[in-house]
Amino acid sequence: MDRFAAVERALRTADPHRLLDVVTEAMREHLGAADVELRMADYGVRSLQRVEAVPLATEPVPIHDSPQGRAYGAPDPVVVSDQAARTVNVHLPVSVRGDRVGVLSVTFPENVATAPLLPELEHLCEALGHEIMVAERDTDLFLLARRATRLTLAAEMQWQLLPGRSCLRPEFALGAHLEPAYAIFGDNFDWSSSADHLTLAVTNGMGEGIEAALLTNLAVNAMRNARRAGLSLADQAYLADQAVYAQNRGSAYVAMLLLRFELATGQVEVVEAGSPRAWLMREGKVETLDFDAQLPLGMFEDTVYVPEHFRVSPGDRLLFASDGVYDTTSQAGKHYGEHALARSLTANRLLPAAQVPRAVLRELADHRGASPLDDDALVVCVDWYGQGQADRSASC
């Protein structure tokens, strides 16, 4: 492990744009690697794109039909032998606190025994993931590798606002995704975990384009400001409501579902302020979670929000969706609806929480057909384990 400790130190001191160079030099010097390649998942999580000086100079590979794509979604590295080239390719996921962002591929001569190297390579990929997260403050290299096409300005703002796509802790696993990835408007998700709580917000801002993105940015940052000030869930909604109303005087508003999970007990506090809806799958049965509908944030001045409560149990799965999901219509005019979401939850029950949102949105695309989305579609999935799950490592 000494050689990898040296690589980790080199990563921490490297210029942000040279992280991959450091890894490549280490692989060649210490392990005799013939080639090293880093690919980032694009915003739509459909392709893996090479990190290189000129974006898209190398052809992307699909996530759903490639060895790199299998490594992106699999729990273990994917090892592929190329007998013609007399090499072995090792593909390993690169994660940032449980959120998978890409795949590192290392090519070795066929005479190198790769199995003993896998634990150290996985450790290196974790270190690389953390350094990428830090480096993105100072370089666009990795962000450019994530885009298969140009983002709209509204989508750029929304992706910069998001916390990540997934999160894993001993008490819960969480995954989320948005479509259309390159032209989202006002939908958003946000979470924060502490020693005692998980706070989750699912947001649906009205309007389109930059106006919707600005509106959502205001509401989410007002909610974060209140949360970080130690205010209660109801007061977080109240402060965000005041901020949105002060800016728009009721002409624009935001629907938000706020939840605060107590990690020790599974007790959940909820404030529903608008359209995002929730489903619960417990012991194989799916039901909607109905809360008292309260006014969206910013619709009227000085709205008072009243919290509700329910409890989750180990093994529960929760799904949250914006109206762009359940109101989407097929070419025949049929709504996707609650029954389709319930069927999707059941059909995808064996997938981890991080993969469920994308699976649901793929089924939504099949339902919609060739017509484009006319509204944002947001899905968030939470698997609840409860405390005492010591075999799960904290990753967010």
CA-CA-CA-CA dihedral for 162, 163, 166, 167, to nearest 10? -160
Res 370: pLDDT:
65
Pair type for strands 47-50 and 277-282: unpaired
Res 207: pLDDT:
87
Res 70: pLDDT:
97
Please give the order of strands across the beta sheet that includes 35-41: 61-62, 47-50, 35-41, 99-109, 87-96, 78-82
Nearest C-alpha neighbor of 17 from the set 139, 144, 145? 139
Nearest C-alpha neighbor of 388 from the set 167, 171, 169? 171
Low-confidence ranges of the chain (pLDDT < 50): 390
Nearest C-alpha neighbor of 129 from the set 103, 106, 162, 155? 103
Crossing angle for the helix pair 337-347 and 356-368, to the nearest 10 degrees: 130
Q: What is the 3-state secondary structure (H, E, C) of the chain?
A: CHHHHHHHHHHHHCCHHHHHHHHHHHHHHHHCCCEEEEEEECCCCCEEEECCCCCCCCCCEECCCCHHHHHHHCCCCEEEEECCCCEEEEEEEEEECCEEEEEEEEEEECCCCCHHHHHHHHHHHHHHHHHHHHHCCCCCHHHHCCCCCCCCHHHHHHHHHCCCCEEEECCEEEEEEEECCCCCCCEEEEEEECCCEEEEEEEEECCCHHHHHHHHHHHHHHHHHHHHCCCCHHHHHHHHHHHHHHHHCCCCCEEEEEEEEECCCCEEEEEEECCCEEEEEECCEEEEECCCCCCCECCCCCCCCCCEEEECCCCCEEEEECHHHHCCECCCCCECHHHHHHHHHHHCCCCCCCCHHHHHHHHHHHHHCCCCCCCCEEEEEEEECCCCCCCCCCCC
Res 395: pLDDT:
62
Nearest C-alpha neighbor of 98 from the set 321, 390, 380, 355? 355
Res 299: pLDDT:
96
CA gap 143, 49 in Å, rounded: 11
